[in-house]
Structure 1
Amino acid sequence: MNRAARFARDNGLSLVFGAGFLVTLFCQALAGRAEYNGEMRAIGAEPITLGRYLTSADFAVAVTENWQSEYLQFFLYLFGTVWLLQRGSPESKELHRAGTESDEDQRVGAHATPDSPRWAAAGGLRRTLYSRSLGMWMCAVFLGSWYAQSVSGAAAYGEARLRDLESPLPWSAYLLEPDFWSRTLQNWQSELLAIGSMAIFSVYLRQRGSPESKPVGASHESTGVAG
């Protein structure tokens, strides 16, 4: 196996989903521009180019409102599954392992192995931060994309008000508008539904060969095992 084939095999999950993301983002831009230009023609305004649409508030808010909800899902899932359990689900830890677990279980400090990350073997603040770095990163991206959604949403909402000959609202006032919370909550509820559904459906249903599923022949009561 040559180097390129090995790289593709070793990184297939991120490569396929990364490529899929770029393709769907481009298609979203095409569809969004077509919809936006349809609205512009309806009010007698000039349509815009794809390049201009990509830098518009309309496109920015459409993208960021989805990003923030997805990263909220990851953040809640990462921190929630430290303590919350679901009997029979591969998405849950085993029932006796709730909590942050021992240093030995986590292979940190004196229990680190030669190939452990350097900060796992360190002590004090470095190890504390590294021990929670994934959840902290997901939280940071969520908050950043939520802020970006609020700013771009305020701009898009202001443009719509101007077309109706109304004054745009300041960002702080937009945060109290139903438009902002409608965009936000419609995404949050779908992400919470997806997390809960995956946790409970995986108790009884199987996907052979997937680490997100239990082995096909595993008992419904088996918890924290992957196929």
Structure 2
Amino acid sequence: MDQPVIPFDLARMFIGEQPPLFYAEILFRTVLIYLYTLVMLRWIGGRGVAQLSLVEFLLVIALGSAVGDAMFYPEVPLLAAMAVITTVVFVNKVLDRLIVRFDRAKRTLDGRPIALVRDGHILLDAMSHRDLGIAEIKSMLRLAGVENLGELRVAYLEAGGGLSVFRAHPPRPGLSLVPPQHLLNPAPAKDKPLAMDGQTCCGICGVSTGAQIIATRGRCGNCDGQTWQAPEWPPGIDDELKGSSKPME
């Protein structure tokens, strides 16, 4: 039978039953687990950590566990928890200094921005780098206030998960992002008259091409899709700009 817990037993609270050398093991275990978790979070990438950097995200996890265990479990010595907290904060400060002083360390720990959209169409390379789907990219763009891919010159997914949007001047006709697609977007184009100025755009990634691809049932060279629809002008474009616009290349 387990011995009953004696309240305010200072030896149990601060030291526990472990030998003194166990504290050296705690330091080793903390550093090892911290670095291993950092590698795993780096593998997950910016999608998994939202607006926090990987180092900040890991700091929250590590401190939350160390602080919580010491508060709730009487068998966890306070000195052991304090050793873990001190080690985590020290490692975090070292990594912070490396990130501030060395660009290579920042790229290694936090990653680098990835282009999601360029010249009005979604880049498929971004999906493989960050494990994103096209629907997720479109959702992120809508949250950034983008209604049509034709508005964009380039959009970047930052290392911390934020989205940087740079708009095209002037905008061009492109794929509408306004949901729900089956109600608000035009139906897939089935013949040339549905395409604007002899152009059509991929209904999946937004790549524009000549409308003849519809008749030949060709596939998109970017995403391999076969859904084609008429490009739309972004909202708020005046008729003068529409009339002076040249067909997309």
TM-score (norm 1): 0.23
Return the structure number with greater strand share.
Answer: 2
Return the structure number with greater helix share.
Answer: 1
- Structure having the higher Rg: 2
Q: Which has the higher contact order (CA 8 A, sep 6+)?
A: 1
